[in-house]
Amino acid sequence: EIVLTQSPGTLSLSPGERATLSCRASQSVSSSYLGWYQHKPGQAPRLLIYGASSRATGIPDRFSGSGSGTDFTLTISRLKPEDFAVYYCQQYGSSPFTFGPGTKVDIK
């Protein structure tokens, strides 16, 4: 089983600031199968990034993903009020399709 670790657990930032979220895998993950999701309370999770670096349909370009192997990064260039949420990385190439524990981005 591939275990995903995310850091930091919580990121306290102000609107307009840059957010950098990390996801580390216990073994190499094919970049084709690494995704990032945004989850807000009471809503369905939303796919942001797939294939480590491709933005999903309708996702603004302030969201970007990078990385390969065991280290991946989600960057939000300039935080907007609607970006404060929990972010999860996931590998979806081989079962079990594990998620990281999440990074909460909250308002400073």
Partner 1 sequence: EVQLLESGGGLVQPGGSLRLSCAASGFTFSSYAMSWVRQAPGKGLEWVSGISGSGGSTASADSVKGRFTISRDNSKNTLYLQMNSLRVEDTAVYYCAKGGWGPPFDPWGQGTLVTVSS
Find the binder of partner 1 among 21, 38, 50, 72 (CB under 8 A): 50
Whether 37 contacts 87, CB under 8 Å = yes
Which of the ranges 17-25, 41-49, 60-68, 70-78 carries the binding residues for partner 1, by CB under 8 A? 41-49
Closer to partner 1 by CB, 16 or 58: give it: 58
Which residue type is seen at 35? G
Size of the site for partner 1 (CB under 8 A): 27
Which helix (H) or strand (E) segment holds residue 103: the answer is strand 103-107
Say whether 82 sits in a helix, a strand or coil.
helix
Which CB, 19 or 48, lies closer to partner 1?
Answer: 48
